[in-house]
Structure 1
Amino acid sequence: MTKAVELGDIIQLRKGKKATEVHEQRVNGASPYIQIDEVRGATPQKYAYDAKGVTVTPADLCIVWDGANAGTVGYGVDGLIGSTVARMRIKAPEEWDTEFVGRLLQSRFRQLNDEAQARGATIPHVDKSKLEAIELPRIARSEQQRIAAILARADGIQRKRREVYELAADFQRSAFLELFGDPAINPHGFDIETVAKHLSKERAGTQSGPFGSALKKHEYVEAGIPVWGVDNVQHNEFIAKAKLFITDEKFEQLERYRVLPGDVLISRAGTVGRMCIAKPTISRSIISTNLVRVVLETETLLPEYFVALFTYLPHRLGALKANNKDNAFTFLNPKTLKALEIPIPPMEQQIKFKRLSERTDGHLLKMSEQLCGLEDLFQSLSQRAFRGEL
């Protein structure tokens, strides 16, 4: 059996800090500023200087310490880390390969993120003791490099598939612009009306998820009625795989939060404002605390148009501002959403876009399933590597 060593025994952990000087362009003495996006592989967009700052080199590992992305691990970066990032410096680089350690930790993201979320703090942050307790197989550095190369190839296949998927998704955005134009300019002269005017009269037009007092943690069960959360709501994509469940009796108490096919679900935690059309495969389910459900009057406004508008062009929707990260809205609440004015195209054009979306969604679903299969394969390879079996 392969001997194991705890991560805390092989790395020195140091938290970053907010830089004293941050610049939009490189200036003399400034280094690339490494924040969340840079840990995830993005090219640095800012440069910083701080004589007492924490620097990283390509031989170090970085981990996002705070926030919704806590537990994200990256490596191969060079610069000054911000306050949401921590540096993991390998004590004996002649014994441990950075990419090997990094890829194995990346496979533990979900575990690290769940532990961060479970700590009960207003802002999630990594559990230091559990991070340092992660075990790695003690194997020769040459063997580590061989395993890292295998994982790199598997990851490369995933990335290529994902690029194809993103190109198909871009087609939908192009089709949307072709049919409806830029909503900020409204070149076709569509009527501009409030969202409130097009909400359902039969069900609650907007409904926030149940507060903690209505649905407590101890009331969740291992199987039963699904409770959809933030992870189920991706950009214009519903993930029909629940992690949380409630009993039939609890569902009867919370039926006002029920989700039906065609409802629009919006995240109000993590990437705030991310939305999709619900496509549950079972008849009964509800939204969680961190979601908002929107029910439209489909005789005048189709969910396909509504979700595409907010997914592809949120930064062009006046009062509902979006930042530059994942098109996330800087704030979102039902009152703001109801008051927002948007172009309302003729129904025949909305139907045309819906049909096009349905055809494209079929191809995207197949590609998504292939990506899930590749992700499962990658996770399997990673876990075997953790056990020293590759």
Structure 2
Amino acid sequence: MSSFVTPKKWLTVPLEDVILRIVGGGTPSKSKPEYYQGEIPWMSVKDMNKHVLQDTVDHISQAAVDNSSTNVIPAEIPIIATRMGLGKIVIADFDSAINQDLKALFLPTEVHRDYFVYWYRSVAQKIERMGTGTTVKGIRLEVLKGLEFALPPLAEQRVIADKLDTLLAQVENTKARLEHISQILKRFRQSVLAAAVSGRLTEGWRSGDNPERNFKNLGEAGVEVKTGPFGSALHKSDYVNGGIPVINPMHISEGTIKPSESMTISHQKYTSLEAWHLRKGDVVVGRRGEMGRASVVESDEPQLCGTGSMILRVGEDALPKYLEIILRSPTAVSYFNSDSVGSTMVNLNQKIIKNFEVYFPSLSEQTEIVRRIDQLFAHADRTEQQVNNALAHVNNLTQSILAKAFRGELTEQWRKDNPALISEENSAEALLERIKAERAAAKPVKKTRKKAPS
């Protein structure tokens, strides 16, 4: 039984009935580097991150094409992934060779290409579910050929493709605007942090009693710094599942600590590393890799400072939360990136942190800065949540529009207004007969072996 609920004027047929031929590809020998120094685009699944391609990551030589099973596919032919990236389909505006995980689908004259591409996108999730394999999922050609294809008259195919061009372009524009808001919010948070650690955020608040801004380095402000365990203190082999969390840079994001269940140590090992126990009120900061990862420890639960992190503790004249704000600010990130050591990875040490000079006001002003940032960030978080909810709706909207299109709902009125374009010689039945004739004509003629003369 068909899974499509299609209009009476449409047909539902196996996909193989509307494909002239399917052409696969291959990978030239990796042992010959010269094969990958040519000008011919060579497409693989990693290129299928767009609907229309202007180029491929890899390029090969003519010798690579001649000496491998790859095939050069003409421009504008739909290309699908049959292993990894199931459900993806692209159009390239250039001739391209393809690898063995891709297939080119050559269509008959009277199957509108854009209609076909949109239909394939509408069943992408179904194709993904049909994939088999333990580590990498693939789909067999026999399964692919058996997919049910919604075949309307050709004129209606064109109308559907045009409508989807318009509607989905509007969806993409909406999505782009929403994603732009997320970037604006990110810049907003950074600008607030920068204003905080320069004294500009509370300029009006302190103007009466103490209008001057006081700067000092973190060492002068009484900040203590301790580098996480290294060398023989903590090995990778010490990690267990379900133990006491070890906090490394990867576990610190946007001022929060998110421990990992897989990166923990036993209670016995934790006890032996008492010097690196994290206490409530400590500020843990990533000392290598991406700068700006810092968070106040808010929990009394046992946690250990990891090898890639540092513990910072403030004196009586500072708030831990204000220190976190300092370390997350673009001012600190810029300073750490320029003064850190290491040729391959940014790496902080105690001297760099203690020498960092920043606006360090009174406790009352620090409290006001923290209050204002909490308020502003809470507003930004609410806005971001609304944006994310809207993005989820927009992403669902694409599949909803595609589903409506291939149930015939987008062209219901058009069929009523154009009966001559969907009947008799323009009907889906007549169209299918012409496709069958084209498929038959496209089949290669089998060579017969001549009998040897007697």
TM range (shorter): 0.5 to 0.7
User: In the superposition, relative to structure 1, how do residues 83 and 144 fare at CA in structure 2: closer, same or farther (>3 Å)?
Assistant: same
Aligned residue for 1:165, secondary structure, equals helix
User: Deviation string for 1:99-155 (max 9, x for gaps)?
Assistant: 111111112222222332xx2421122343332222222222232121112112222
Aligned residue for 1:60, secondary structure, equals coil
1:9 counterpart letter in structure 2: D
User: In the superposition, relative to structure 1, how do residues 91 and 344 fare at CA in structure 2: closer, same or farther (>3 Å)?
Assistant: farther
- Distance of 2:106 and 2:261 partners within structure 1: 38
Match of 1:145 in 2: 158
Pick from 6, 9, 13 the counterpart of residue 5 of structure 1.
13
User: In the superposition, relative to structure 1, how do residues 263 and 188 fare at CA in structure 2: closer, same or farther (>3 Å)?
Assistant: closer
The question of whether the paired residues in 1 share the 8 Å contact of 2:54 and 2:92 is answered with no
Aligned residue for 1:125, secondary structure, equals coil
2:155 counterpart letter in structure 1: S
User: Deviation string for 1:61-105 (max 9, x for gaps)?
Assistant: 1222323x322122244343443641232241x111111111111
- Distance of 1:31 and 1:343 partners within structure 2: 53
Pick from 166, 175, 179 the counterpart of residue 179 of structure 2.
166
1:131 counterpart letter in structure 2: L
1:64 counterpart letter in structure 2: A
Match of 1:60 in 2: 77
Match of 1:39 in 2: 48
Match of 1:111 in 2: 126
User: In the superposition, relative to structure 1, how do residues 344 and 159 fare at CA in structure 2: closer, same or farther (>3 Å)?
Assistant: farther
Match of 2:407 in 1: 387
Alpha-carbon shift at residue 374 of structure 1 (Å): 3.3
2:77 counterpart letter in structure 1: D
Pick from 111, 114, 133 the counterpart of residue 96 of structure 1.
111
Alpha-carbon shift at residue 163 of structure 1 (Å): 1.6
Long gaps (5+) in structure 2: 1-7, 195-216, 231-241, 248-252, 263-277, 292-304, 314-319, 329-369, 411-454
Match of 1:347 in 2: 321
1:109 counterpart letter in structure 2: A
2:176 counterpart letter in structure 1: E
- Distance of 2:229 and 2:88 partners within structure 1: 36
Residue 220 of structure 2 is aligned to residue 205 of structure 1: no
Alpha-carbon shift at residue 369 of structure 1 (Å): 2.8
Pick from 372, 388, 391 the counterpart of residue 368 of structure 1.
388
Match of 2:149 in 1: 136
Residue 133 of structure 2 is aligned to residue 125 of structure 1: no
User: In the superposition, relative to structure 1, how do residues 90 and 15 fare at CA in structure 2: closer, same or farther (>3 Å)?
Assistant: closer
Aligned residue for 1:95, secondary structure, equals coil
- Distance of 1:129 and 1:315 partners within structure 2: 48
Range that drifts further, 140-149 or 359-368: 359-368
User: Deviation string for 1:310-362 (max 9, x for gaps)?
Assistant: xxxx9747xxxxxxxxxxxxxxxxxxx95434797963216687765543332
Q: Scaled by the length of structure 1, what TM-score is found? A: 0.54
User: Deviation string for 1:356-383 (max 9, x for gaps)?
Assistant: 5543332233233333333333323312
Q: Scaled by the length of structure 2, what TM-score is found? A: 0.47
Range that drifts further, 341-350 or 127-136: 341-350
Please state which structure has a larger fraction of its residues in helix. Answer: 2
Shift >6 Å, 4+ stretches: 21-24, 187-190, 265-268, 342-345, 351-354
Higher relative contact order (CA 8 A, sep 6+): 2
- Distance of 1:343 and 1:14 partners within structure 2: 59
1:363 counterpart letter in structure 2: T
Long gaps (5+) in structure 1: 181-186, 197-201, 208-235, 238-261, 269-295, 318-336
The question of whether the paired residues in 2 share the 8 Å contact of 1:62 and 1:73 is answered with yes
Matched pairs, number: 269
Aligned residue for 2:60, secondary structure, equals strand
The question of whether the paired residues in 1 share the 8 Å contact of 2:54 and 2:93 is answered with no
Pick from 44, 68, 89 the counterpart of residue 73 of structure 1.
89
- Distance of 1:355 and 1:382 partners within structure 2: 41
The question of whether the paired residues in 1 share the 8 Å contact of 2:13 and 2:149 is answered with yes
User: In the superposition, relative to structure 1, how do residues 338 and 13 fare at CA in structure 2: closer, same or farther (>3 Å)?
Assistant: farther
